[in-house]
Amino acid sequence: MSADLSGPVFRGQRRGLMYVLSSPSGAGKTTLSKRLIAQNPDLVLSVSYTTRKPRPGEEHGKDYYFTDEASFLEMAGAGAFHEWAKVFDHYYGTPKAEVDEALSEGRDVVFDIDWQGARALAKSAPEDVVRVFILPPSLALLRDRLQKRAQDSDEVIDGRMARAKEEIEHWDEYDYVVLNDDFSRALEKLSDILQAERLKRTRHPWVAGFVDALMKE
């Protein structure tokens, strides 16, 4: 009988992985991560805290935990975040307790965070972090998506484009790069990377004992 190392049978014995997705805003990362989670019921999304205001349709506790600056900084001071950063003009932070609980249950956690967060997590948990950078097929398309998403002035869009370029500059700090020129193909790639990473030997500490027993048969 062959064992399915990625399956739920060994879930309790597998280290959960931290699946970090970054991209410039407008490259489709949030939609991709939501679809990936819908397809993989074992995955958990890390819901960040933020001091920015909710956008229409965003839900507290689902998209973000919306909070004010004083409460955010108090949490940061108390060490409640795995990492936190100022992105654009607001604070964003990855809560520790929820993530650690999921990981200790052997569940994989998806992070929709910027390059600063990706870098911090990779530093604090190098064994558990898998980083993917999602690239738009062109800057023209990115601008188009940003224009459609919000009815902002050209000036605001220019600012977002400048920040998008800053984010893209960090592409080579990531383990994988996925081009989002076709949504279904990009989603498939994210899923393939996840499946392969789940099979990595180092994520299956139980194998050592299994091999020991095997050799004694």
Name the site residues for ligand 5GP (rule: CB under 6 A): 25, 48, 52, 83, 85, 87, 92-94, 112-114, 116-117
Which C-beta is closer to ligand 5GP: that of 16 or that of 26? 26
Which C-beta is closer to ligand 5GP: that of 13 or that of 116? 116
CB of 51 to ligand 5GP, least distance (A): 10
Tell me the Ramachandran region of residue 32: left when phi exceeds 0, alpha when psi lies from -120 to 50, beta otherwise: alpha
Phi/psi at 113 (5° precision)? -135, 165
Which C-beta is closer to ligand 5GP: that of 149 or that of 185? 149
CB of 215 to ligand 5GP, least distance (A): 45
Asked if residues 107 and 42 have their Cβ atoms less than 8 Å apart, the reply is: yes
Rounded to whole angstroms, the Cα distance separating 37 from 22 reads 16
CB of 194 to ligand 5GP, least distance (A): 18
No. of H helices and E strands in the chain? 8, 9
Residue 73 neighbours by CB distance under 10 Å: 15
Which C-beta is closer to ligand 5GP: that of 112 or that of 128? 112
Asked if residues 43 and 107 have their Cβ atoms less than 8 Å apart, the reply is: yes
Residue nearest to ligand 5GP (CB): 117
**CA neighbor of 113 nearest in space, from 17, 196, 33, 194:** 33
CB of 61 to ligand 5GP, least distance (A): 14
129-144 b/e (C-beta count within 10 Å ≥ 16 → b): bbbbbbbbeeeeebbe
CB of 107 to ligand 5GP, least distance (A): 18
What does DSSP assign to residue 60?
B
Which C-beta is closer to ligand 5GP: that of 92 or that of 174? 92
Phi/psi at 123 (5° precision)? -75, -40
CB of 160 to ligand 5GP, least distance (A): 9
Which C-beta is closer to ligand 5GP: that of 87 or that of 132? 87
What does DSSP assign to residue 53?
P
